[in-house]
Amino acid sequence: MKLTIRFIPMICVLLAAAWLTACSQKTNEHQGHQNQQHQPTGQSQPLRIEFNTNPAPAEAGKPVTLTSTVKAGNESVNDATVEFEVWKKGQKEHQKFGAKRQQNGTYTASASFREAGEYVTIVHVTTPKTHQMASGAFTVGQASGHSHGDHGDHGNGVQLHIQFPSQARSGKPITVIGHVQRDGNPLTDAEVQFEYWKEGEQKHEWTDTAERNPGEYLTTIRFSEPGTYRVKLHVEKGEIHDHKEETYIVK
C-alpha cells in the first residue's frame, strides 16, 4: 500500500505534462488555421481590362466570340465574374452575356447579332474586392454611321452600372448600388440619385445615395407592391449629366 501511494504523485505529474502538450499542439494548430484563413488574397490595385472580338469585324447572324482579358498589374485575375453588356448604337435594347473563365485571366462569351452596324460593349468585372467596368466597340458587317441612344455612355467616357440583389420582395428594403466610372476610373464626389416607378404608373419616387467606396454609390429602396419597376440612375458632376435605366422585378 505504501508503494502505491509513493507512485501517485509521479503519475499525476506525467498526466499533467501530457495534457499540457496536447493543449499546446491544439493551440498551435488553431493559430496556424487562423493564419491560413486570414492570409490576404486577390488584387488591391486597379484592373486592366481589354476587350476584343473574333472574328473582327463580326458577320451578321453568325457566332462571334467576345473576349476580355483581366489583369491587376502584371498578374492575371482568375477569380472574377465577367459580363458583357452589348447594344447597337442608337438603340435602347441591351443584351447581357455571362462570360466563362478560360485561362491566364481570359474570359469569353459566344453571341450573334442579326443586324449589321456599330455595337457598344461595357465589360463588367466583379472580383471579391472590386467592381470595375471598361467600354469597347465592334462592328457587325460593313455598317457605317454614328447615332447615340440612352445607354449609359454618352460619348463622355462615363460608364454606369446598376447592381441589384438577385431578388426582392415587396415591403422589404433592398440595397441598390450605382457604379460610376469615367475612362475606366471611379468618378468620385458626384451627385447621384435613383429614380424609380412601377411600370404603367405616373408616380415617380427619388432617393439619394451615399458614396461608400470611390465611384460606388449606395441607397436603400423599399418597393411597396409586387410588379415590374423601372429604375434610373442619375449622375451629375460638372459638365457630366448622365443616366442609365434598368428593369427590375419585385415579387
Classify residue 251 by its DSSP letter. Answer: -
pLDDT tens digits, 57-99: 899 999 999 999 999 888 999 999 999 999 888 777 889 999 9
Place of cell 482579358: 69
What whole-number distance in Å separates Cα of residue 243 and Cα of residue 234? Answer: 4
What whole-number distance in Å separates Cα of residue 21 and Cα of residue 156? Answer: 67
Whether 30 has a pLDDT exceeding 80, the answer reads no
Query: Nearest-CA neighbor of 196 among 151, 234, 168, 237?
Result: 234
- Grid cell for residue 181: 466610372
Structural Rg of the chain based on CA atoms: 27
**Helices and strands (H, E) in the chain, number of each type:** 1, 18
pLDDT (mean) for 203-228 = 91
Predicted local distance difference test score (pLDDT) of residue 227: 93
What whole-number distance in Å separates Cα of residue 58 and Cα of residue 117? Answer: 10
Stronger pLDDT, 136 or 8, i.e. the higher one: 136
Classify residue 59 by its DSSP letter. Answer: P
Predicted local distance difference test score (pLDDT) of residue 145: 38
Whether 220 has a pLDDT exceeding 90, the answer reads yes
CATH topology of domain 159-250: Immunoglobulin-like (2.60.40)
Predicted local distance difference test score (pLDDT) of residue 90: 74
pLDDT (mean) for 23-43 = 43
Residues 6+ positions from 72 with CB-CB distance below 8 Å: 43, 44, 45, 46, 47, 48
Stronger pLDDT, 171 or 11, i.e. the higher one: 171
What whole-number distance in Å separates Cα of residue 118 and Cα of residue 45? Answer: 32
pLDDT (mean) for 234-243 = 90
What whole-number distance in Å separates Cα of residue 144 and Cα of residue 147? Answer: 10
pLDDT tier for residue 193 given thresholds of 50, 70 and 90: very high
Domain boundaries, the chain: 47-142, 159-250
What do you get for the CA distance between the two ends of the chain, in Å? 81
Q: What is the pTM of this model?
A: 0.54
Residue type, 130: T
Whether 110 has a pLDDT exceeding 50, the answer reads yes
Whether 189 has a pLDDT exceeding 50, the answer reads yes
Top CATH class, 47-142: mainly beta
pLDDT tens digits, 140-181: 986 443 333 344 444 567 888 888 988 899 999 999 999 998
Strand segments, DSSP code E, in 31-80 are: 47-54, 64-72, 75-76
Whether 41 has a pLDDT exceeding 80, the answer reads no
pLDDT, the chain, mean: 80
pLDDT (mean) for 217-226 = 92
pLDDT (mean) for 46-62 = 88
CB burial string 127-160: b at 16+ within 10 A, e below: beebbbbbbbebebeeeeeeeeeebbbbeeebbb
Predicted local distance difference test score (pLDDT) of residue 138: 87
pLDDT (mean) for 185-199 = 91
Predicted local distance difference test score (pLDDT) of residue 112: 94
What whole-number distance in Å separates Cα of residue 37 and Cα of residue 39? Answer: 6
Predicted local distance difference test score (pLDDT) of residue 214: 87
Predicted local distance difference test score (pLDDT) of residue 44: 58
pLDDT (mean) for 228-249 = 91
Q: What are residue 193's DSSP bridge partners?
A: 208, 234
